[in-house]
Amino acid sequence: MSEFNESDVRAEVRAWLEANWSPDYGLVEWRNKLIDSGWGCPHWPREWYGRGLPVGLVPVVDEEFARVGAVGVAKVGIRVLAAATILDHGTDEQKRRYLRPSLTGEEAWCQLFSEPGSGSDAAGAVTRADRHGDHWVVNGQKLWTSGAQKADFGLLLARTDWDKPKHAGLSYFILKMKQPGVVVQPLQQMNGHATFNQVFITDARVEADQLVGKEGGGWAVTTTTLMHERRSADGLRHWGMAANPRPGRIYQEERAEIEVALAPYKWYPNRAGRVDLVLPRARETGKIDDPVVRQEIARLLVLAKSAEWTARRARTAQEQGRPQGPEGSLGKLAASHVARTAARVHTLISGADALLSGPQSTMNGTIAEILVSVPATSIAGGTDEIQRNIIAERVLGMPREASVDTDKPFRDVPRNQVG
Ligand SMILES: Cc1cc2nc3c(=O)[nH]c(=O)nc-3n(C[C@H](O)[C@H](O)[C@H](O)COP(=O)(O)OP(=O)(O)OC[C@H]3O[C@@H](n4cnc5c(N)ncnc54)[C@H](O)[C@@H]3O)c2cc1C
């Protein structure tokens, strides 16, 4: 039986906000106050800026924040995954150094896992980290790195032992991005945004105390990051990137944050399919009266609702003490299915207009942006096929996919790139 109940939590957070919240704070000043109070990340442990609340009660806190328009801690981008991973695997020193500036939004993160030859097969990474006395020297290339242009630190997966089998020779580091050996090149996407980058790493330096977890234990840490990523892709996440038009210093600073720091992520709500726009658009265009379109809308809404309930069930299981597990893959796969179906229904509603972008197009090009952004949902954080493999093996207990490269020294595994 939990020591927390909804009405007590609601009353407590409401009283705290009444006593403390003001839009006249500076953004970082307020977020520091929030972090000290534990209300910024209420489900985190008490000793690390939280209140130890069950995950299931976090929406209660969010509702109270929304009621008075209070701004939360920085929650957009890879910083969320960095914080969750460091919280799980970091040393106390790493938690002290990295958690707070991530929550205030002063430091940004990126995820340096994927490489030209290893995306789905992240454990096949050939970026190498070699120990030189008190530090590591890193060489390699990463690809698809969201937010690397603005990142202060990267979550780096690198190979530290070529004689161990594939998964056992990897280590996980915090890489300082702003250093001479790290070059970031943005990549333009078909939706016009440039969220991704390729990152070239040449003799970059990583201090010994920036190793997360054990040397050779990088795969376990990576799995934690990926499980959090998949869970956050289950459709329950609100990206919180709508600029709040209210007056007040803090809103002004938040708008500036959205405009500059969060610009690469602007299209993220659209890649989820924007189910919320389907009914208003159907009414606006009169397509709501078309029985075939109505049927498709109904199917989409049923699908979206059942995906939401599945995701909520997974979160409740977590709240009851089960660690973050493979059920994140179910949520991610469902979110991807919903996004694709939503894109199809938007096309049915808007017809050829859905292809137009620019100021005179339908909803200023939003529908077109949805159509070209939705495919990313089925790739980012592990493709649909990879989620199906995880569900088959780890949820349904089916036999593992045949593997030809996990039982020998990685040095002897045939691959395209020379390590
Ligand atoms: C929006 C977005 C943001 C991203 N952000 C980041 C980031 O910040 N950091 C980062 O490191 N990466 C990032 N990625 C990369 C992403 O993780 C990879 O694109 C993804 O893991 C797939 O890898 P790949 O592109 O190399 O495709 P591949 O692995 O080459 O896959 C090609 C195709 O083969 C299929 N396939 C591969 N292996 C199997 C298998 N075993 N069984 C069945 N089918 C298989 C795949 O499903 C896919 O259809 C991002 C991607 C997107 C779209």
- Cα–Cα nearest to 48, from 9, 10, 102, 2: 102
How far, in whole angstroms, is CA 395 from its chain's centroid?
A: 22
Taking only the tens of pLDDT, the chain with its 419 residues reads 467 889 999 999 999 999 999 999 999 999 999 999 999 999 999 999 999 998 878 889 999 999 999 999 998 888 889 999 999 999 999 999 999 999 999 999 999 999 999 999 999 999 999 999 999 999 999 999 999 999 999 999 999 999 999 999 999 999 999 999 999 999 999 999 999 999 999 999 999 999 999 999 999 999 999 988 887 766 655 656 677 888 899 999 999 988 888 888 888 889 999 999 999 999 999 999 999 999 999 999 999 999 988 888 777 776 666 666 677 788 889 999 999 999 999 999 999 999 998 888 888 899 999 999 999 999 998 999 999 999 999 889 999 988 888 889 999 998 765 44
CA 232 to ligand 1 centroid distance, Å: 17
Q: Evaluate whether 57 touches 6 at the Cβ level (below 8 Å).
A: yes
Ligand 1 centre distance from Cα of residue 380 (Å): 6
Distance 227 CA to ligand 1 centre (A): 15
For residue 106, CA distances in Å to 42, 74, 257, 271, 353 come to: 20, 9, 10, 26, 41
Q: Whose Cα sits closest to atom 51 in ligand 1?
A: 380
- What CA–CA distance (Å, rounded) separates 132 from 78? 29
> In the structure encoding, which two tokens stand for residue 37, read together?
């109070």
Q: Within its chain, how far is the Cα of 382 from the centroid?
A: 12
The answer to whether 62 and 134 have CB atoms below 8 angstroms apart is no
Cα torsion at 174, 179, 182, 187 (round to 10°)? 100
What confidence score (pLDDT) does residue 240 get? 61
Task: Give pLDDT, residue 2.
Answer: 63
Position 404 scores a pLDDT of 85
Number of residues that make up the chain: 419
Task: Give the atom of ligand 1 at the shortest distance from the alpha carbon of 382.
Answer: 21
> Is the CB of residue 141 below 6 angstroms from any atom belonging to ligand 1?
no
CA of 114 to the centre of ligand 1 (A): 8
Q: How far is the CA of 21 from the centre of ligand 1 (A)?
A: 42
Instruction: Identify the CA nearest to 55 among candidates 263, 188, 222, 228.
Output: 228
Any atom of ligand 1 within 6 Å of the Cβ of 223: no
Ligand 1 pocket mutation pick from 144, 271, 406 by most atoms within 8 angstroms of CB: 144
For residues 279 and 342, the answer to whether their CB atoms sit within 8 Å is no
Give 50 Cα–ligand 1 centroid separation in angstroms: 33
Both structure tokens of 77: 């981008």
3-state secondary structure the chain: CCCCCHHHHHHHHHHHHHHHCCCCCCHHHHHHHHHHHCCCCCCCCHHHCCCCCCHHHHHHHHHHHHHHCCCCCCCCCCHHHHHHHHHHHCCHHHHHHHHHHHHHCCCCEEEECCECCECCCHHHCCCEEEEECCEEEEEEEECCCCCCCCCCEEEEEEECCCCCEHHHHEEEEEEECCCCCEEEEECCCCCCCCCCEEEEEEEEEEEHHHEECCCCCHHHHHHHHHHHHHHHCCCCCCCCCCCCCCCCHHHHHHHHHHHHCCHHHCCHHHHCCCHHHHHHHHHHHCHHHCHHHHHHHHHHHHHHHHHHHHHHHHHHHHHCCCCCCCHHHHHHHHHHHHHHHHHHHHHHHHHHHHHCCCCCCHHHHHHHHHHHHHHHHHCCCCCHHHHHHHHHHHHCCCCCCCCCCCCCEHHHCCCCCCC
Comparing CA positions, the residue from 194, 226, 233, 207 lying closest to residue 91 is: 207
Ligand 1, closest atom to CA 157?
A: 11
Residue nearest to atom 32 of ligand 1 (CA): 120
Q: Residue 380: CB within 6 Å of ligand 1?
A: yes
Ligand 1 close to Cβ of residue 379 (< 6 A): yes
What's the confidence (pLDDT) of residue 419? 47
Ligand 1 binding pocket mutation candidate from 85, 112, 383, 384 (most atoms within 8 A of CB): 383
Confirm if 392 and 330 have CB atoms less than 8 A apart: no
Q: Decide: 175 and 112 in contact? Cβ < 8 Å.
A: yes
Is 353 in contact with 361 (CB distance < 8 Å)? yes
Q: How many CB atoms lie within 10 A of CB 5?
A: 11
Decide whether any atom of ligand 1 lies within 6 Å of the 146 Cβ: yes
